[in-house]
Amino acid sequence: MGPLIEVVLGGLMAGVLYSLVALGFVLIYKASGVFNFAQGAMVLFAALAFARFSEKMPMPVAFVLAMGVMVLMAWLVERLVLRSLVNQEGIILFLATFGITYFIEGLGQLIFGSDIYPIDLGLPKEPKIILEDTFQGGILINIDDLLAAAVAGALVLSLALFFQKTGTGRALRAVADDHQAAQSVGIPLNRIWVIVWSVSGFVALVAGIVWGSKLGVQFSLALVALKAIPVVILGGFTSVPGAIVGGLIIGVGEKLAEVYLGPIIGGGLENWFAYGLALVFLMVRPEGLFGERHIDRV
Amino acid sequence: MFYRENGQFKTSYAEDQALLSIRQDRWFIWLVLVVAFVVVPLFASEYLFKAILIPFLILALAAIGLNLLVGYCGQISLGTGAFMMVGAYSAYNLAVRVPDLNILLVFVLAGLITTVAGMLFGIPSLRIKGLYLAVATLAAQFFMDWLFSRVKWFTNDSPSGSVTAPAITFFGATWDSPTEKYLLVLAIAVLFALIAKNLVRSNIGRSWMATRDMDVAAEIIGIRPVYAKLSAFAVSSFFVGIAGALWAFVHLGSWEPLAFDINRSFSMIFMVIIGGLGSILGSFLGAAFIVVLPLLLNQVPHWLGIPISTATASHLEFMIFGALIIFFLIVEPHGLARLWAIAKEKLRIWPFPH
């Protein structure tokens, strides 16, 4: 029983980390109908900015500065890209975010360098053993994983409150529902987009710091996005809770597959297993677990 | 003045249904073909063949395949690299395990194997639509990456994981000089472009376009979405599989799964979008753009005489590439093919636009 619980717990922790990135996708899709492929590049960029700033100054200052950079980026993206592509089809906007991805990846490494930069949050790295009396050998957990889970939880809670309780949140939901209708009742579309890209920049920064403190800040951080994509399609593009539940399912599924299926059909499963799992779920519910059901009319 | 169709009357059904109904267009296409088949082999340098023309033609073939799926049937696929990989490894295994088989037959069989794989991964399209489908096709990419790097049988137990294609021999000759390879690829690309062009104006092509424009409406007027979608996946995968086999055998020579990774898939979708969705000509234009652009970006600092480190240059290349993609999408979301169509329209009324 002990090892199984350990695997499941490990999976849940990994899942929370995926959810952190997936949240960024969901936010932008919800508010502007754009599937933002650049989320991974934003994670990289934010983490690079934070890592390099924190070499020179205390962490809170670095955090605020990095956030400033992300807001600036959000503004530029709205100004230079989205504004010119209003009313284009989803696929065109999707591909434009590929352009943004390449641009940000190049820019980030050009400004901040392309080595591996550590982020040290001063947390204990050694895993702790708990429940030693219940199971033989106990269960290993990492403190920083627990912290990441707490951060993700807090983030989701505050985002949910922001979306449901504030005026801006209501405006965001209106824009997500219908651009033109929102505009006609006087919601400033452009400002909403800047806000939502800034919020997802904030999510990217948090995700970047959490991932960066685990892996070190390096180019491969941008590839985390590819891990988060199955989470988003599994949970549904439009659902914040979906991103969390999806992340947990994918995290646990991946770890279980690696431990129990890996030895049978060969290792290295984790790259495609998540996609396979998401596909199976999609066959049953094509809009993802919590996505909005979509009705076709002729 | 020169491009005008007045005085050209269609007097038979055959003329009415001709692929190119305007005489000047026919002359132009013949001219292009003569240049491509005769003039270019006489004068082009080896570098031009190896670095530009051969990759361009093979990728154009793959782009046509992808365009049939994305541009004509409206099913977005981000897994083209995976299907090219299936084509490449099927061709390799067929060529190595059945040495007597004619290489052209090997390519066709590799295309058919890819067709089966493509239809399997096309099944979700019956349930899932739009962006969900697009990201779901990434499953094919990651699964194939894993399959061909982990299962040793496919690579004939090669210890390094990379495989080398046997020489291309048929009709008693070995086709290994750049010119011969170019002619081979050119012939195949032209043949398949012609097939694609005819396919999309046939019954099946019309059912794809109806599905693309509105699948529910198409279903109501009697088009079976299962047939339309799966046939689009099948035909598209066939093209892409052959392109993959050619890419491996003719362009790369020896390769590993990394040659067909996710970046290949992304660059394929760029070709289709930048070239123009739903246009065979656009597939060629897009492929040319994506093949030539990185080479140009690489050369520009040299020409300008700016001393620049390789790392900086590669970062700048990323940035410029990204910016150009955004620029093109903003300026002409319908792609280079639309620019071509506009130019033709303008030429028709030139020099008296009123």
Domain borders along chain B are: 45-349
Mean pLDDT of A125-150: 69
The larger pLDDT score, comparing residue A260 to residue A125, is at A260
Which residues of chain B neighbour A106 with C-beta distances below 8 Å?
Answer: 315-322
Which residues of chain A neighbour B311 with C-beta distances below 8 Å?
Answer: 109, 114
Burial class (CB in 10 A: 0-12, 13-18, 19+), A93: buried
Note the pLDDT tens digit of each residue in B116-166. 999 999 888 888 887 778 877 888 899 998 888 888 888 888 777 788 888
Residue A135 pLDDT > 70: no
Percentage of chain B lying above the pLDDT 70 cut: 99
Residue A296 pLDDT: 67
Residue B81 pLDDT: 94
Residue A65 pLDDT: 92
Mean pLDDT of B171-186: 85
Residue B65 pLDDT: 96
Mean pLDDT of B243-265: 91
Q: How does the average pLDDT of chain B come out, rounded?
A: 88
Residue B343 pLDDT > 80: yes
Note the pLDDT tens digit of each residue in A243-258. 888 888 998 988 888 8
Check if A21 contacts B (Cβ < 8 Å). Answer: no
Question: Is residue B241 very low, low, confident or very high in pLDDT (cuts 50, 70, 90)?
Answer: very high
How far is B69 from B76, CA to CA, in rounded Å? Answer: 7
How far is B324 from B317, CA to CA, in rounded Å? Answer: 10
Give, for B211, the enclosing helix (H) or strand (E).
Answer: helix B203-213
Note the pLDDT tens digit of each residue in A16-32. 888 888 888 888 887 77
Residue A134 pLDDT: 63
How far is A248 from A16, CA to CA, in rounded Å? Answer: 6
Mean pLDDT of A193-197: 88
Which residues of chain A neighbour B215 with C-beta distances below 8 Å?
Answer: 296
Substitution target in A272, A292, A293 with the highest count of B β-carbons within 10 Å is A272
Buried b (16+ CB within 10 A) or exposed e, B275-285: bbbbbbbbbbb
List A residues 180-239 in contact with B (Cβ-Cβ < 8 A): 226, 229-230, 232-233, 237
Range of weakest confidence among A3-12, B69-78, B220-229? A3-12
Residue A140 pLDDT > 80: no
Check A272 against B142: CB less than 8 A apart.
Answer: yes
Check A269 against B146: CB less than 8 A apart.
Answer: yes
Range of weakest confidence among A136-150, A170-184, A206-220? A136-150
Question: Is residue A125 very low, low, confident or very high in pLDDT (cuts 50, 70, 90)?
Answer: low
The larger pLDDT score, comparing residue B48 to residue A3, is at B48
Architecture of domain B45-349: Orthogonal Bundle (1.10)
Question: Is residue B57 very low, low, confident or very high in pLDDT (cuts 50, 70, 90)?
Answer: very high
The larger pLDDT score, comparing residue A90 to residue A39, is at A39
What angle, 0 to 180 degrees and rounded to 10, lies between the N-to-C axes of helices B262-275 and A90-112?
A: 120
Check B322 against A104: CB less than 8 A apart.
Answer: yes
Residue A76 pLDDT: 92
Residue B353 pLDDT > 80: no
What angle, 0 to 180 degrees and rounded to 10, lies between the N-to-C axes of helices B262-275 and B280-304?
A: 110
Structural domains in chain A? Answer: 2-284 (1.10.3470)
Mean pLDDT of B228-246: 95
Of B215, B217, B318, nearest to A106 by CB-CB distance is B318
Of B142, B150, B217, nearest to A266 by CB-CB distance is B150
Structure tokens belonging to residue B344? 């033709």
Question: Is residue B7 very low, low, confident or very high in pLDDT (cuts 50, 70, 90)?
Answer: confident
The larger pLDDT score, comparing residue B343 to residue A295, is at B343
Note the pLDDT tens digit of each residue in A52-106. 888 888 888 999 999 999 999 999 998 998 888 877 777 788 888 988 999 998 8
**Residue B206: C-alpha distances to residues B189, B218, B230, B232 (Å):** 23, 10, 14, 11
Ranked by mean pLDDT, the top range of A90-94, A178-182, B64-68, B160-164 is B64-68
Strands B169-170 and B173-174: antiparallel
Question: Is residue B199 very low, low, confident or very high in pLDDT (cuts 50, 70, 90)?
Answer: very high
Mean pLDDT of A192-219: 87
Question: Is residue A213 very low, low, confident or very high in pLDDT (cuts 50, 70, 90)?
Answer: confident
How far is A253 from B14, CA to CA, in rounded Å? Answer: 60
Residue B310 pLDDT: 74
Residue A129 pLDDT: 67
CA R_g for chain B? 21
Check if B263 contacts A (Cβ < 8 Å). Answer: no
* Chain A residue closest in CA terms to B124: A283
Question: Is residue B190 very low, low, confident or very high in pLDDT (cuts 50, 70, 90)?
Answer: very high
A128 SS3 class = strand
Check if A56 contacts B (Cβ < 8 Å). Answer: no
Range of weakest confidence among A262-266, B50-54, B269-273? A262-266
| Range A71-76 contact pairs with CB under 8 angstroms and sequence separation of 24 or more | A71/A194, A71/A198, A71/A201, A73/A42, A73/A45, A73/A104, A73/A197, A73/A201, A74/A194, A74/A195, A74/A197, A74/A198, A74/A200, A74/A201, A75/A194, A75/A197, A75/A198
Percentage of chain B lying above the pLDDT 90 cut: 40
The larger pLDDT score, comparing residue B6 to residue B83, is at B83
Ranked by mean pLDDT, the top range of B37-46, B171-180, B238-247, B313-322 is B238-247
How far is B23 from B34, CA to CA, in rounded Å? Answer: 17
Give, for B268, the enclosing helix (H) or strand (E).
Answer: helix B262-275
Of B135, B142, B315, nearest to A271 by CB-CB distance is B142
A116 SS3 class = coil
Range of weakest confidence among A125-134, A153-162, B185-194, B307-316? A125-134
Residue A267 pLDDT > 80: no
Residue B92 pLDDT: 93
Give the Cα-Cα-Cα angle B112, B117, B121 (nearest 5 degrees).
Answer: 145
Cα torsion A235, A239, A244, A249 to 10°: value is -10
Residue A141 pLDDT > 80: no
Of A98, A106, A268, nearest to B266 by CB-CB distance is A98
Structure tokens belonging to residue B174? 């070995």
Question: Is residue A211 very low, low, confident or very high in pLDDT (cuts 50, 70, 90)?
Answer: confident
Residue B354 pLDDT: 67
Task: Find tokens 């980030």 and name the residue.
Answer: A108
Question: Is residue A124 very low, low, confident or very high in pLDDT (cuts 50, 70, 90)?
Answer: low
Residue A271 pLDDT > 70: yes
A217 SS3 class = strand
List A residues 63-122 in contact with B (Cβ-Cβ < 8 A): 80-81, 84-85, 88-92, 94-96, 98-107, 109-110, 114
CB B51 within 8 A of CB B252: no
Percentage of chain A lying above the pLDDT 70 cut: 91
